[in-house]
Amino acid sequence: MNFYTRRFNVYLLPLLLLTALVAPGCALFHKKPPKDVGAVRVHIESPVAAGDETQVVSVLREDPVVVTILKEPVLTESDLLRALLRESPGGFYVELVFDETGALTLEQYSAAYQGKHFVVFGQWGDKLKDGRWLAAPILGARNTVGTLAFTPDMSRAEAEQWVRGLNATAKKIQTGK
């Protein structure tokens, strides 16, 4: 009785080894670009210092403005429909367009706190690693249009990245994905 063991085709072995070594390495060369993410927190200036409910912040890097704010933001990116980077004669400004709930909140706070500041904190970059206090516009009159426009304390490149991130985050929140 003769027994024959199954033979492995030796000619395919180098091809199999090469495929096993090269295939995982291909993923190393095709990194996904970082996702655009952005966050915004709009706080209101506190009329009085109320201990744990308030905090003192310094807004603007070159000519700082010190403002006492309520710790809880009144508006966030969850209230945002879109962010726009607009041109102005001296440079650029950011316009935040809020949804119906955000617009009502903006109207209520702007009517109740006339003469006070809205203080805007923004985060952008990979995993929201960059962030700072960006602006402190004064509330002159009741805001009934649902938009907040301000000149941020940031470079144009940072502003573009932030606006892209805010729009991506707002879209993600609106679609639920």
pLDDT digits (tens, 9 = 90+) for 138-164: 988 899 999 999 999 999 999 999 999
pLDDT at 50 over 80: no
pLDDT at 22 over 60: yes
Residue 75 has a pLDDT of 96
Nearest residue to 131 (alpha-carbon basis) of 173, 162, 155 = 162
Range from 18-22, 55-59, 133-137 carrying the lowest mean pLDDT? 18-22
pTM of the full structure: 0.77
Cα–Cα distance measured from residue 123 to residue 170, given in angstroms and rounded to the nearest whole number: 14
Cα–Cα distance measured from residue 94 to residue 63, given in angstroms and rounded to the nearest whole number: 20
Q: Count the Cβ atoms, other than its own, within 10 Å of residue 124.
A: 25
Residue 36 has a pLDDT of 78
Two structure tokens written together for 49 = 């210092």
Q: pLDDT averaged over the chain?
A: 85
pLDDT at 7 over 80: no
Q: Count the Cβ atoms, other than its own, within 10 Å of residue 34.
A: 11
Confidence category of residue 60, pLDDT binned at 50, 70, 90: confident
Residue whose token pair is 């199999």: 16
Range from 63-67, 80-84, 129-133, 146-150 carrying the lowest mean pLDDT? 129-133
Residue partners of 11: CB distance under 8 A and separation at least 6: none
Residue partners of 68: CB distance under 8 A and separation at least 6: 45, 46, 49, 54, 55, 56, 57
Residue 3 has a pLDDT of 58
Residue 1 has a pLDDT of 57
Pick the CATH number of 38-175 from 3.20.20.70, 3.30.2350.10, 3.30.420.10, 3.30.1360.200: 3.30.1360.200
